[in-house]
Amino acid sequence: MIGFLPGYQSIGIVSTIMFIFFRIAMNFFVGIEYVNSVTYLLENSDKQSRGFFGSWGAIGISGGYLAASIVAFSVSYLLTKHIIPDWGWRFVFLFSIIGVPFGIWIRYSIPESLEFMVNNASTIPIKKSLIFKKSILFIITHPKQCLAISALALVGTCLSYIYYIYIPLTLMSSRHFSHEAVLVLNISALSLVVILIPIFGKLSDYYGRALLFKIICMFVALLSLPFFWASAYSSYVTILLVSILISIPSACFFSIYPTFLIENFPSRIRCTAASLIHQIVCSLGLGILSLTMEYFNSVSNRPYLPAYILIVSSLFAYVGLNYLSNKASSTINIEEMKAEVNN
């Protein structure tokens, strides 16, 4: 729809409104499938390899960012060199039509996971509305656990927004780096992230996800100020090196977050409950972050001030992990939840 959308010269402000609407709808629906796909990966893997298999959901996200950066760099170059017409960017969106039938075929052809079928074999299927109610009930009755998960989701939102959206825009507007130079930064950092994600996923199976999360939170808190300082005052090469450095804990976070998120909810309601928390935190976080960044820029001339957002969110997540380190989906009153559902 974005590819076919008439320009501002044709329909005026309606074009802008429709563009924003399509972007919001696209992000919303993609976010819902993220939790579902990771859940499916986990339920089709053995417990000793869940971290590795769950990390492939994160590869889908970070790999998508990487592909988008490469495409944006290519389109920008082709437009600058006048190799393609000014409206050539529409091809990027129109090309996605090819993936629609493929995606529908996958979505409706794959069977339910064995874990899902086993957990539902002895019970009467319940309505989706009741699953939603049970998910809300679980969130209400487990506030510390859900707040801890929310804190982790906020860290992930901050990492994604600040490192891969806010900083690149700032480098172009304040440091006057070219669009192509900034895209090279993103491509370099994201390439390393995609490579490291499955490695950290496998490590989490051996050393535990809670322990790795605590280490990540400390590294993010320690590296935030140097990264913002380098982005504001250092050379391009220094920024590139610091971006690669900060990508290491980011890759570890993106790798183990989806598995950790899913594991902390009973299988009967995990898709709905996890999606609720993840989507609400990410949606609110992105909105609040952008406003907060604008406020910091308007009241202070210190470009490293937003780093404290990452530091505070990381410390909150570190504290929250103490409520999750001994939690697992097998220990959160699954039988009790099943009894409630059957009743």
Which spans in 88-127 are helix H?
A: 90-94, 99-109, 114-120
For the segment 23-41, the average pLDDT, to the nearest whole number, is 76
Count CA atoms closer than 13 A to 12's CA, side-chain side: 1
What's the pLDDT at 342? 53
Higher pLDDT, 238 or 20: 238
285, two tokens? 């976080």
- Give the Å distances, CA to CA, from 89 to 21, 62, 77, 178: 19, 22, 11, 19
Given a cut of 60, is residue 105 above it in pLDDT? yes
Check pLDDT > 50 for residue 336: no
| Per-residue model confidence (pLDDT) at position 335 | 46
Q: What's the pLDDT at 330?
A: 39
CA distances from 112 to 60, 109, 257 (A): 20, 10, 23
Tokens of 208: 């535990």
The pLDDT confidence band at residue 327, using thresholds 50, 70 and 90, is very low
248 or 331, higher pLDDT = 248
CA-to-CA dists, residue 130 to 20, 274, 340, 341, angstroms: 33, 16, 11, 8
Q: Residue 151: which residues within 8 A CB-CB, separation 6 or more?
A: 313, 316, 317, 319, 320
* pLDDT value for 119: 63
145 pLDDT higher than 70: yes
Site of tokens 């913002």: 228
> What values do phi and psi take at 256, rounded to 5?
-100, -10
b/e burial code for range 273-301 (CB count within 10 A of at least 16 → b): bbbbbbbebbeebbeebeeebeebbeeee
Buried b / exposed e over 218-249, threshold 16 CB at 10 Å, is: ebbbebbeebbbbbbebeeeebbebbebbbbb
Average pLDDT score, the chain: 82
Cα 237 to Cα 240: distance, rounded to the nearest angstrom: 5
Q: Which domains does the chain have, with CATH numbers?
A: 8-113+127-342 (1.20.1250.20)
Res 64 pLDDT > 70: yes
Q: Give me the pLDDT at residue 333, please.
A: 45
Does residue 152 carry a pLDDT above 70?
yes
The residue ranking higher by pLDDT, 24 or 161, is: 161
Model pLDDT for residues 106-139, shown as the tens digit of each residue: 878 887 766 666 666 555 666 777 888 888 888 8
Do the Cβ atoms of 277 and 150 come closer than 8 Å?
yes
What is the band of 248 on the pLDDT scale with cuts at 50, 70, 90?
very high
Does the pTM surpass 0.95? The reply is no
Residues in CB range of 83: below 8 A, 6 or more apart: none
pLDDT band of 332, cuts 50, 70, 90: very low
| Tokens 């994201």 found at | 190
Contact status, residue 89 vs residue 79, Cβ threshold 8 Å: yes
Residue 221: both structure tokens together: 């808190």
Q: What DSSP designation does 113 have?
A: P
- The percentage of residues in the chain with a pLDDT greater than 70, rounded to a whole number, is 89
DSSP state of 303: T
pLDDT tier at 326, thresholds 50, 70, 90: very low
What's the pLDDT score for residue 60? 85
Q: How confident is the model at residue 157 (pLDDT cuts 50, 70, 90)?
A: confident
Banded pLDDT at 31 (limits 50, 70, 90): low
Contacts of 232 (CB under 8 A, 6+ apart): 174, 175, 303, 304
